[in-house]
Amino acid sequence: MSKETFQVGCKINLCLKIVGRRKDGYHIIETVFYPLKKPYDTLVITQKPLTDDVTEGITVECNSKEVDLKDNTLTKAYNIFKEITGFAPPLHIELTKNIPIGSGLGGASADAACLIKYLYAKKNKLPYGAITPKDRIRLQKLAVLVGADVPFFIVDTLSYAEGVGEMLHPFELDDHKGNYVLLICPPIHISTAWAFKKLSEKISMILGVNENELENSKKIEKIASFSLTNGTELCINLLNAEKHKNSSFQKELESLYARQDDLYQRAAKDPTRSSSWQNDLERPVFDEYPILKEYKEKLLSFSPDMALMSGSGSSLFALFNDKAKAERAEKYFLEQKDMKVYLSAF
């Protein structure tokens, strides 16, 4: 039997903007993914010997009772890889979950990407992680069938992402030495599907339209994406402009899109010093869990360059250019009950 051990890190979203929704229910986003080495999950993958009775299949054991051992991202990744490539060696995986579930850090997606890269390596008799650029694109297309965040973990480098998160544009920061990221993980589990549903409900309420209208109009959905950050009155005017085809408001709408997109593109080049970052899911999540808003305000009290909720929460992070400030914030949050805290160089 062949046994290998992998430590699988997580991600934070340096921003998250919702710009639409597909017919299959997935939201269209713009985000910047940043990989973190901790917290990490541990996967021990054992390739079982082939016998007359065992020729393929996967079994999973896990230290967390929250993971369904028969139906999870690992079993899904295995079955999709088998369906597309025909390669399906018999495997047993021991999964140790350290990345908090329901934290917005993409732990389950990272686990799935690890397995996809493992299967690719075994199929092609290559070292783990040795992926040709052409095959990397193929694996990303396969990975998105498992989940929206999984393609990022195939690349696993700082990336601007579009679509449902699968259209990745890796980039490098010119100068970010001496910066630190403080990640805090409260003992709160938030479902990603729940967070997006709450966002849709919030937008529907603010703009006075029902969810069917949001689903049936890309323009209305895009207008709605500004409602949480650009003022309700302006967005209602833009919505009415779209409904009634008012030309003056149409021009204002186009101008607003251009300004926002330009700001976002410029901000993507320098996330450590941008004041424009936002997470559209913060408002609905904070409404339901006000303690998370309090934690963010406390993070901001230590004067970081920025502080934000990651993904759909519940984790939050702050970027610091002063290590002493970061360590003071770390000390405070380590004293909070059941809080998991991680400080890393950025």
- Which one from 41, 149, 156, 280 is the annotated catalytic residue? 149
Quick check: is 11 catalytic?
yes
End-to-end CA distance of the chain: 39
- Around 38, how many Cα atoms within 13 Å sit in the side-chain half-sphere? 8
Q: Is 149 a catalytic residue?
A: yes
Residue whose entry in the numeric block shows the structure tokens 């984790």: 315
Distance from C-alpha of 15 to C-alpha of 220, rounded to nearest angstrom = 22
Q: Are strands 91-96 and 58-62 parallel, antiparallel or unpaired?
A: parallel
Strands (E), the chain: 2-21, 27-47, 58-62, 91-96, 159-162, 167-170, 180-185, 306-309, 316-320, 340-345
Closest C-alpha to 309, from 288, 328, 332, 324: 288
CA distance 329 to 343: 10
Which residue, 193, 192, 18, is CA-closest to 103?
192
Pick from 178, 181, 175, 176: which is nearest to 304 by CA? Answer: 181
Structure-block tokens of residue 27: 């939201």
Do residues 105 and 310 make contact, with C-beta atoms less than 8 angstroms apart?
Answer: yes
C-alpha to C-alpha distances, 176 to 77, 281, 309, nearest whole angstrom = 35, 27, 21
Active site residues: 11, 149
